[in-house]
A and B are shown apart, each in its own frame.
Chain A
Amino acid sequence: MFDFLESGQYDLLGAFWVTVQLTVYSAIGSLIWGTLLAAMRVSPAPLMRGFGTFYVNMVRNTPLTLIIVGSSLVLNQTLLFGLGGDTFKETGFRLAVLGFVAYTGTFVCEALRSGINTVPVGQAEAARALGLSFTQVLGLIVLPQAFRASVAPLANVLIALTKNTTVAAAIGVAEAALLMKEMLENEAQALFTVFAIFAFGFIVLTLPTGLLLGWVAKRVAVKR
C-alpha cells in the first residue's frame, strides 16, 4: 500500500520541510509587517491611519492566489525583480514569502488592533490620573493587556497561514500541495492513501499549534 513511498521517487519530508520553512519565514515577516500596520492604524496622524485602513481593506478583499501569482508574474517576470534569489527555486520561495507577508500582515494587524480595543479607555484614564507618563501608560498598562488578548486571534492567523502556504504551489514552489498534486497524478491507484498522508501531515502541523497557543491564550487572558 505504501510501496510507492519506498521507491525514493518522492521527497515527502522535504516537501513538508519547505511548507514549514514557508510558514516560519512568513510568520516572522507578517508579525513585523502586521505590527507596523497596526501601529499606523492606531496612530494619531490621520494620513497614516488612512493608509493603514486602505491597505488592509484592499488586501483582505483580494484572493491570496492573486497576490501570489501576481508576485511572480508582476514582480519577477515583468519587472524582473529576483529578490536576490540565484535559482528559480530560491526566487519562487522568496516571492511566495513576500506574498504571504503582504496578505497575512493584514490579519495580524487586525488581531493586534482588536487586542488594543479590548483594553477599556478607563484603564488609560485611571493611569493618567495617577500621573503616569505616556510611555508608562503604554508599557505598563495598555500593551501588556493588549498582547495577552491578542494571543488567541494570532494563533488562528498562524494556523490559517500554515494552511495557506499551499497556495505557493501556484507558482511552482516545491511544497506539500505541489507534491501531492504530482503524486495523485502518478499514483492513481493509491488516491486515498496519498490524500490521507498529506491530510495527516497538515493535521500534525496545525493541531499542536492550535492546542498549545489555545492553552497559552487561556492562561494569559485578562479576565473581565
Chain B
Amino acid sequence: MTSVLYDAPGPRAKRRNVLYTVAFLVVLGLVAWWFLGVMAEKDQLTAEKWSPFVTDSEVWTTYLIPGLTETLKAAALAIVIALPLGALLGIGRLSDHAAVRTVAGTVVEFFRAIPVLLLMVFANEAYSQYTDIPSDDRPLYAVVTGLVLYNSSVIAEVVRAGVHSLPRGQTDAAKAIGMRKGQTMTNVLLPQAVTVMLPALVSQLVVIVKDTALGGALLGFNELLSQNRQITANYGANTIATMTVIALIYILVNYLLTSFASRLERRLRRAGKSGGAVLGADAMEETETMGGPGLHAEEARAG
C-alpha cells in the first residue's frame, strides 16, 4: 500500500489508524442514531410504510415499472438521435473549411453553455405553440429534445477528442497512400476513434438517465421520479420509503451502466487495437459531462 500521501504503516501508525476508525465509527453511529430517531418520531419507520414495496406487487406494476420504462424510453430515444447528430457536429468541428468549423463550433458551444432544463422548458412551450403534438406526449418530446440538443454537443466534443487522440501518423499514412480527406475520416480515423470513445459514450448514458428526472419535476413527464407523488398518495404518506426505493432503482441502473463502461474500457485497453488511447469513463464523467464551454481535447483525454 504505497501512496503519495503516506508510507506503509508501522506499529504506531497502525494503532493510530485503529483509533481513527473507531472515532469515525462513533460519529457515523451517532448521526445514524439521531436520524433514525427523528424518522421514528415522525412515524416514518413503521412497517406499513415500507412493506408495500416488498409485499404489494401493484406498487411495482402500476407505478415503478411504468415510470422506469418511460425514463429508459426517453434516455434511449435521446441517445439514438444524439449519437449521429453529435458525430456530425464533431466531424464538422474538425472540417478544413472555416465556415463549417465555425458553424459547428458555435452550435456546440452554445448548447453546452445552456442548462439542459432551459432547453426542455423552451422545447415544451415551442411544441405547444407551433406543433399539434398531443399534450400527453409533449413532455416526452420536450425532454428528448432538450437531452438531444445538449448531449449531441457533448458527444461532438467526445468525437473530436477521440479523433485528436489518434497518432498523427494515421492521417499521414492515409495521405501517403493517396486517400482523400473523406476517405481518411471514414476509413481510418472514425473506426479507431469509435473504439477509443466507446466507454465515454456509455458513461454519458448515465447523465442522460439522470437528466430525464428533470422532465418529471417540471414538465409533468411520467418518469420514475414523478411516481413518488402517486405512491405517497396511495400508500399512506410514505415519502421516505418511496424516495429511498426510487433512488435505489436509479443507482442500480446507473451503476450497471458505469460498470459496463469500465469493463468495456479495460477490454479495449487490453485489446490494444485502438492505438493505446481510451477516453476513460471516469475522466469523461468528471470533465465532459460536468463540463461547460472552454473544455478541450487535452482535458477530455486525461484519464
A residues contacting B by CB (< 8 A) are 42-48, 51, 57-58, 60-66, 68-70, 73-74, 77-80, 107, 110-111, 114, 116, 119-121, 123-124, 128, 134, 138, 142, 152-153, 155-157, 159-160, 162-164, 166-167, 169-170, 177, 180-181, 184-185, 188, 191, 195, 198-199, 202-203, 206-207, 209-211, 214
Contacts and interface: CB of A to CB of B under 8 A. Distances in A.
B213 A47 contact: no
Chain B: interface size category? 35 or more
B167 interface: no
A166 to B, nearest CB: 4
B13 interface: yes
Nearest to A181: B121
A4 B177 CA distance: 62
B44 A45 contact: no
Contacts of A203: 110, 113-114, 293
B117 interface: yes
A169 B117 CA distance: 9
Given A74-B240, A153-B286, A202-B114, A210 B225 contact: no
A73 B115 contact: no
Given A65-B225, A111-B286, A160-B290, A47 B24 contact: yes
Nearest to B41: A79
A44 B247 contact: no
Given A65-B214, A65-B216, 7 more contacts: A61-B206, A63-B225, A63-B250, A156-B295, A202-B115, A209-B292, A210-B294
B33 interface: no
Contact of B115 (A80, A128, A166): A166
B74 interface: no
Interface string B98-123: 00000000000010011111100110
Contacts of A202: 113-115, 118
A66 B114 contact: no
Contacts of A48: 20-21, 24
A179 to B, nearest CB: 11
A62 B3 contact: no
A77 B206 CA distance: 29
B291 interface: yes
A35 to B, nearest CB: 14
Contacts of A185: 125
Nearest to B129: A188
B243 A62 contact: no
A78 B42 CA distance: 7
Given A61-B206, A65-B217, A121 B292 contact: no
B30 interface: no
Contact of B4 (A47, A66, A142, A170): A142
B67 to A, nearest CB: 12
Nearest to A104: B290
B293 to A, nearest CB: 5
6 contacts: A44-B9, A73-B243, A78-B239, A156-B287, A180-B122, A207-B294
Given A69-B217, A124-B4, A206-B113, A180 B118 contact: yes
Give the one of A120, A138, A166 with max B CB within 10 A: A166
Nearest to A156: B291
B21 A128 contact: no
